[in-house]
Amino acid sequence: MAVDSIKLIDIIKAIADKINEKREYLTQLDSAIGDADHGINMSKGFKAVVEKITNMGDKDCGTILKTVGMTLVSTVGGASGPLYGTAFMKAGQAVAGKVNLDFNDLISVCEAALEGIKYRGKAEKGEKTIVDALEPAVEALRKHRSEGLKTALQEAVKAAKKGMEYTKNIIAKKGRASYLGERSLGHQDPGATSCYIMLETLADQLLDKKS
């Protein structure tokens, strides 16, 4: 795996396209337990991101990721902006100054993103949040690191999907959904879902799969 600044921009653009494609689905999930705007806000945020980073091919990967984070913070409403914004800014710090990213850098980026989300959201796994998809993915990347990029990414995506689907079976303890208590049962968390979409798209791009 070798991801330079141009490739990183292409990956982020692919994520933006996929989030926009799933905009209505994410908003539908959010309408059940939130403000019914997750998909709309995320799509708007990533559209702004693409506009910001398109001509940043001469910048290092850390700067690009930091710009993604700052843009999401300033354009995405609700809790998602600060959470995802912090995730990308922390990811940028983890690879500051690097113009090429390898497999170990990818793991560092995901670890930093998870750390940022947990810090900002004061969330842990099992509380029906983004963490329920991202933390299992990070754990899978670490566990399967020695088996190579393809296996590690495939296992990470599987783990994220399992975590996302598990959010249907737990009561929300954070954010707007937590006000519903047991009524949040049976509903899949929109944040965990958007996180899974991003991870799946990242894997598809790195493994040259068409999603």
Tens digits of residue pLDDT in 21-54: 999 999 988 776 667 788 999 999 999 999 999 9
Backbone angles phi, psi at 3, to 5 degrees: -115, 115
Query: What's the pLDDT score for residue 192?
Result: 94
d(Cα 199, Cα 202) in Å, to the nearest integer? 5
Residue 46: what pLDDT?
A: 96
- Quick one: pLDDT at residue 30? 77
CATH class of 3-206: mainly alpha
The two beta strands, 3-4 and 100-101, are antiparallel
pTM for this model (two decimals): 0.91
Q: Which residue's entry shows tokens 């509903």?
A: 187
Q: Where do the structural domains in the chain lie, given as residue ranges?
A: 3-206
Identify the residue whose tokens are 């709309």: 40
Work out the average pLDDT over 192-211: 89
